[in-house]
Each structure stands twice: as structure tokens, then as C-alpha cells.
């Protein structure tokens, strides 16, 4: 399988290269509309991003998972928050695997033929806060952009003062 996907990605690259060299017009534009509605530019210069986004993502993911570094700049969640809208105009959800291929990452990756497994795990669209009415509150009421620090509740300091015990209630 890895061999297969490598061959595929190689083929994709060759295809991309020939097309880039050959006729620029043939290259479909990635779906940039959602991002452009929110910002003027990407987190790195566009040309650099086009070429090196996987490097940024790979470096950042190890930093996050292994070292616990949680900056937003190269965070995959932030790419999605900026680049993808949760639903289309008709109200249907936008997913990476959709046939339409209008998901930002899919719009390009389908074309270059590099398969991504990221969205097996990672949310492929911003989370609409479905009024999670439990302990921690999110400040943003549209997208779950980045979690806010919540001070530990005073309640949790009173743990010893309550008298009922489980043994008694059961």
C-alpha cells in the first residue's frame, strides 16, 4: 500500500509538473473562496505554502503531539478553520471525501493524486458549536477556533467539605 501510494504520488507529481509546464490553464484552482473571505493571505507566502505545506504540517504535528507545543500558526485545525466552511449554501456538510471535491484540501489533492489520511482522524470542517452545555464554555459562538483558558472552578476546591459518601448512598 505505501508503495502504491508513493507511485501514485509520483505519478501525481509528474502529472502536475507536466501540466504546470505545459498548459497552466488546465490546472483547476483550489477552492480558496472560504479563506479569502476571512483573510488576505495564508500563514506563509502563498507560493511557499503551495510547495511546502506538508513540511509545516509534519513538523508541527510532532511538536504538538510529542512536545505539547500548541501554537496556532501551522496548526491543522487552523488551516481547516480558515480554509473550509462547515456547510455549503444548500446546508449540506462539506467533507474531504465528498464527490464534489470542493473541500479545500480535496480540491487540490484529488487533482494531484496524493491521498491524505489526515481526515480519517482530524475534523475536516470547523466544528459548529452545538451548544455544548457542559462545564467549559467556548467564547466563540461560531467556530471552535481555539479553546479558551478557563480558570479552574472554585467548586473543585471544596472536594473535602462534602459529607456524603458513596458507601452510604449505595
Q: Say whether residue 21 binds another protein (CB under 8 A).
A: no
Contact present, 19 and 26 (Cβ < 8 Å): yes
In the list 40, 66, 99, 139, the residue contacting another protein (rule: CB under 8 A) is 66
Q: How far apart are CA 76 and CA 17, in angstroms?
A: 26
Q: Where are the beta strands (DSSP E) in the chain?
A: none
Q: Say whether residue 5 binds another protein (CB under 8 A).
A: yes
Q: How far apart are CA 73 and CA 60, in angstroms?
A: 9
Of ligand HEC, another protein, none, which one does residue 46 interact with (CB within 5 to 8 Å by kind)? ligand HEC
Q: Say whether residue 54 binds ligand HEC (CB under 6 A).
A: yes
- Our CA angle for 80, 83, 86, nearest 5°, is 70
Q: Say whether residue 29 binds another protein (CB under 8 A).
A: no
- Our CA angle for 100, 73, 92, nearest 5°, is 25
Which spans of this chain sit near another protein (rule: CB under 8 A)?
Answer: 1-2, 5, 61-63, 65-72, 77, 80-81, 93, 95, 117, 120-127, 132, 134-136, 144, 147, 149-153, 155-162, 164-167, 169-170
Amino acid at each position: 500500500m505505501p508503495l502504491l501510494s508513493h507511485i501514485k504520488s509520483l505519478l501525481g507529481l509528474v502529472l502536475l509538473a507536466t501540466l504546470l509546464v505545459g498548459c497552466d490553464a488546465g490546472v483547476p484552482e483550489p477552492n480558496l473562496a472560504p479563506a479569502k473571505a476571512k483573510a488576505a493571505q495564508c500563514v506563509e507566502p502563498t507560493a511557499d505554502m503551495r510547495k511546502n505545506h506538508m513540511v509545516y504540517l509534519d513538523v508541527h504535528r510532532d511538536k504538538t503531539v510529542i512536545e505539547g507545543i500548541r501554537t496556532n500558526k501551522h496548526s491543522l485545525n487552523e488551516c481547516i478553520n480558515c480554509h473550509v466552511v462547515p456547510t455549503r449554501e444548500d446546508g449540506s456538510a462539506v467533507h474531504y471525501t465528498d464527490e464534489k471535491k470542493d473541500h479545500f484540501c480535496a480540491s487540490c489533492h484529488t487533482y494531484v493524486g496524493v491521498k491524505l489520511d489526515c481526515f480519517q482522524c482530524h475534523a475536516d470542517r470547523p466544528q459548529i458549536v452545538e451548544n455544548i452545555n457542559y462545564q467549559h464554555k467556548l467564547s466563540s459562538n461560531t467556530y471552535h477556533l481555539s479553546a479558551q483558558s478557563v480558570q479552574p472552578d472554585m467548586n473543585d476546591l471544596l472536594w473535602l467539605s462534602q459529607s456524603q459518601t458513596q458507601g452510604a448512598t449505595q
